[in-house]
Amino acid sequence: MHRAAARLPPARPGPWPRRALCGEAPALLRASGPGVARRLRGQARVRPDFLSGPEEAALGQELEPQLRRRRYQFDHWDGAIHGFRETEIAQWSEASQKILQRVRDTAFLPGMSQLSLVHVLDLDKSGYIKPHIDSVKFCGCTIAGLSLLSSCVMRLVSEQNPEDWMDLLLPRRSLYILRGTARYEFTHEILKDEESFFDGQKIPRERRISVICRNLPVLPAAT
């Protein structure tokens, strides 16, 4: 489901350049330079407090029984994830359906065909996601994810030039959206707890559940 990055970016522990994107939550985005910020404007977004506390609790209560039946895995078939368990869910409670519809209304254009299965990824406190680009065979141009239980740092790195990067602070109960350039031309990863810094500040990692909606891939026209 993933295409791993051909080149990994150098480790960057410590302070980050103070460059913010214009948008809904500029304080949650930091880029390596103004050119990267312009390139990703509108392509990488973070909406803090997208969920209320009770909404997060309701989603967690619904997900926990299904996740508990699975063991954490510390390898992945394509090597992209470490310390995780996952599932895909089609049937949701009415309350959760309303939350997911709000995600879809926020992230996807009207009439855009979307995957009916929602991907749920449970990342252990010690888990992390390596740099990768989701395969175009399995999902389209937009990825939208809710962050439950813990904040974290997502890093985007240009496939063509690893010196071009953007860090996204994903607060607990936030929604992130990747589309277009951020989706296809930049790898994305979730940093390990010991590497989890944003703008020079440590962002402690705990167990994190992400609830991810995607649109359908666009198949090439038959000839």
- Per the model's pLDDT, the better-predicted residue between 8 and 65 turns out to be 65
Answer yes or no: are the C-beta atoms of 27 and 15 closer than 8 Å.
no
CATH 1.25.40.20 fits 27-69+80-214, yes or no: no
- Residue 138 above 70 pLDDT? yes
CA 187-190-193 angle, to 5 degrees, is: 145
Q: For 34-73, what is each residue's pLDDT tens digit?
A: 999 999 999 999 999 999 999 999 999 999 999 999 999 8
Answer yes or no: are the C-beta atoms of 177 and 185 closer than 8 Å.
no
- Residue 117 above 70 pLDDT? yes
Residue with tokens 């929602």: 118
pTM over 0.75: yes
Virtual CA dihedral for 38, 42, 43, 48, nearest 10 degrees? Answer: 120
- Strand, coil or helix: what is 199? coil
Write out the two tokens for 44. 């990488």
Q: How far apart are CA 215 and CA 198, in angstroms?
A: 29
Predicted confidence band of residue 77 (pLDDT cuts 50, 70, 90):
low
